[in-house]
């Protein structure tokens, strides 16, 4: 059963390698990397737009407060209640100061609004590129599934068989297999062939060979440390 499990694992590895080497697969990976870059650019562009919106909102609030104050001062000036020439002069000077400040804020807001238009146009352009890129990626995935469909189907079938075989092993043996497989580049199991390990092809010393033959059906190669099937149960 261990050799059957290893067979499924090795076949899946070979098939996945074929899939990875398909031009369509490389094109999909390149497209996804580009999409990630575009999405990052869009996030930055949108952040710039939100920052400008915050500045415009702040300017609007400040201009509203100035206009309220100007209306208040203008009402005092026109009410006739203020008679003192110095007070009238002070009100007039305050109105002039407020007007200058308002003009400055309005000019600043116009500049920010121009920046906002530029940011909006940039955001729309990047968004369109993202939509187009995703459409191209979807087309590539479809083409990959068509050309690699048989391979993908075989991988799925082997994975199901692999799960069944692995599930039938005793937990301790399964864990041992997985650990050796990870350490030995997916080749974890071999048969004892005479006095030789079927994987590393190294002759086992006589003393070690006797221990293996006198021990359980499944041992360990003393040379490469892989699982060694001494005899088929």
Q: Which residues does residue 95 pair with via DSSP β-bridges, in sequence order? A: none
Same domain, residue pair 123 and 193: no
What lies within 8 Å, CB to CB, of 19 at 6+ separation is 25, 148, 151, 152, 155
What global pTM score does this model have?
A: 0.56
38 and 133: one domain?
A: yes
Q: 3-class SS at 203?
A: strand
| pLDDT of 167 | 93
- At 178 the pLDDT is 95
Which whole number is the average pLDDT over 199-227? 92
Average pLDDT, the chain: 92
Q: In terms of domains, do 190 and 129 share one?
A: no
Domain of residue 68: give its range.
2-168
Judgement on whether residues 28 and 114 belong to the same structural domain of the protein: yes
d(C-alpha 187, C-alpha 11), whole Å: 12
pLDDT at 68: 95
The pLDDT assigned to 233 comes to 65
Do 192 and 163 sit in the same domain of this protein? Answer: no
Q: How many angstroms separate the first and last alpha carbons of the chain?
A: 10
- Assess contact for 123 and 49: CB atoms under 8 A: yes
Choosing from 132, 147, 168, the residue where a domain stops is: 168
Closest CA to 28 of 143, 173, 141: 141
Domain final position from 144, 168, 192: 168
| Same domain? 47 vs 107 | yes
Q: How confident is the model at residue 18 (pLDDT cuts 50, 70, 90)?
A: confident
Q: What tokens appear for 132 in the block?
A: 């187009």
What local confidence, expressed as pLDDT, does residue 54 receive? 96
- Is residue 71 domain-shared with residue 98, that is, in the same domain? yes
143: number of CA atoms within 13 Å, CB side? 13
Q: Stretch 40-57: mean pLDDT, rounded?
A: 95
Please give the pLDDT value at position 143: 85
Number of compact structural domains in the chain: 2
**For residue 88, what are its two tokens?**
């009238």
Please report which helix (H) or strand (E) contains residue 196, including its range: strand 196-197
What distances in angstroms separate CA 3 from CA 65, 123, 147, 199, 212, one per listed residue?
82, 57, 30, 12, 18
């Amino acid at each position: 059963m261990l050799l059957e499990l290893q067979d499924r694992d090795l076949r899946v590895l070979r098939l996945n390698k074929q899939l990875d080497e398909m031009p369509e697969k490389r094109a999909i990976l390149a497209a996804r990397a580009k999409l990630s870059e575009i999405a990052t650019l869009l996030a930055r562009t949108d952040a710039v737009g939100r920052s400008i919106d915050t500045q415009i909102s702040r300017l609007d609030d400040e201009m509203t407060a100035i206009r309220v104050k100007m209306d208040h001062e203008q009402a005092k000036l026109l009410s006739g209640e203020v008679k003192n020439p110095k007070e009238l002069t002070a009100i007039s000077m305050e109105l002039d100061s407020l007007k200058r400040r308002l003009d400055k804020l309005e000019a600043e807001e116009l500049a920010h609004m121009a920046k906002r238009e530029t940011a909006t146009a940039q955001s729309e352009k990047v968004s369109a590129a993202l939509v187009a890129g995703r459409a191209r990626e979807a087309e590539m995935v479809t083409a990959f599934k068509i050309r690699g469909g048989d391979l993908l189907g075989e991988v799925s079938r082997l994975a199901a068989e692999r799960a069944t075989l692995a599930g039938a092993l005793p937990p301790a043996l399964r864990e041992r297999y997985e650990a050796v497989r990870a350490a030995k580049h997916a080749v974890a199991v071999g048969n004892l062939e005479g006095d030789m390990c079927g994987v590393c092809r190294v002759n086992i010393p006589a003393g070690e060979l006797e221990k293996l033959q006198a021990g359980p059906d499944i041992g360990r190669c003393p040379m490469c440390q892989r699982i060694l099937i001494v005899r088929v149960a």
